[in-house]
Structure 1
Amino acid sequence: MLSNSCSDQLEELSELLIQLSPLDYYQISSVFRTSSIGQHVRHILELFECLLTQYESGKINYDTRKRDLRLEKDPVFALEKIREIQSKINLSDKDLILFQDQNRESEGIKTTYFRELLYNLEHCVHHQALIRLACIAIPEVSIPENFGVAKSTIHYTSQLSSKN
């Protein structure tokens, strides 16, 4: 089920965050030079949170998401937010309208909850790949082999290995 995949992906993120010191989490990364691991985590979580809080209205607009700086500064708060998202994510599929800017008067795009969950899952994997790069520079952090790698890539690589 898609909500389980999202929850699992967020769990992988949690397991990595537990290893980070607060400083490693919120300081600007030498790899990124303009952002921190915490900023990437905040971005991931806010998109999930936006989808969940706007689900009832049926109108989704990621551009109007709450930008909570505490999520990028406090890894414990981010872990709490992950648990909250995981507890709420298992919702029924339904039709939604997606808006792409802050003007709700603009024409929306038809979508569904499951389609937006898939978007959030892929978005999460993408940002986890970036987080992985920053964590390589932190010797104390153990990065799982497939952290930030899409499941389709893992499957494809496995197929290639079995053919050789």
Structure 2
Amino acid sequence: MNLITSSSNILNQLVGLIKQLSPEEYTSPLPLLMDNSISKHLRHIVEFYDCLFKGIADASINYDLRERNPSIENDPEFAINFINNCIQHLSTMELSNDPINLTTLLSPEGHEACTLTSLDRELAYNVEHAIHHMAIIKIAIKQCYPHVTLSKDFGVAYSTIKFHHQTA
């Protein structure tokens, strides 16, 4: 397995989740998530991938400047199509360690840092970032929407899964 396959697997899990939720369940603010919705966390995940894809073109990524597309958040079908487009985009990519500039906001006042990264490193980051948010989503699903079926590994770090397999 490589970073592209891992990313595609993550995104496919999100599509599977959306398909199990009603539009209201997808978009409802949940007290458990500090009045955020499943869809807000999902939008956050996929927009990081979108930022990465757009940043590759000019070798410059800034996740803080992501679009924050309300359609991903409010329309489950739009979200599914957006994610499927991300998966399609991943399928055309080739892994690379060529340098890419990464700009990160360090404070609300606008202080930034710029560092070098690569497509491979950012795909690895996006996998970990997605899993982190999926763990939060999983907590909300278990508490608020028990009819939804998630794999036991949904939102669990691969290192944790590997550790559990080794100690079983």
The answer to whether TM tops 0.5 is yes
Give the Å deviation of 1:139: 2.6
Secondary structure (helix, strand or coil) at the match of 1:55 reads helix
Unaligned runs of 5+ in 2: none
Using the aligned pairs only, state the percent identity.
35
Matches within 5 A, 1:10-159: 10-89=11-90, 90-93=93-96, 94-101=98-105, 107-136=113-142, 137-159=144-166
Q: TM-score normalized by structure 2?
A: 0.90
Structural RMSD (CA): 1.9
Give the Å deviation of 1:107: 4.9
Query: 1:124 corresponds to which letter in structure 2?
Result: A
Unaligned runs of 5+ in 1: none
Distance in 2 separating the partners of 1:122 and 1:155:
15
User: Is the contact between residue 30 and residue 134 of structure 1 (CA under 8 Å) also seen in structure 2?
Assistant: no
Query: 1:69 corresponds to which letter in structure 2?
Result: P
Distance in 2 separating the partners of 1:95 and 1:120:
17
Distance in 2 separating the partners of 1:73 and 1:91:
32
Q: Over residues 26-45 of structure 1, what are the superposed CA-to-partner deviations in whole Å (9 max), with x where a residue is unaligned?
A: 01013213200000000001
Q: TM-score normalized by structure 1?
A: 0.92
Query: 1:157 corresponds to which letter in structure 2?
Result: H
User: Is the contact between residue 50 and residue 60 of structure 1 (CA under 8 Å) also seen in structure 2?
Assistant: yes
Secondary structure (helix, strand or coil) at the match of 2:117 reads strand
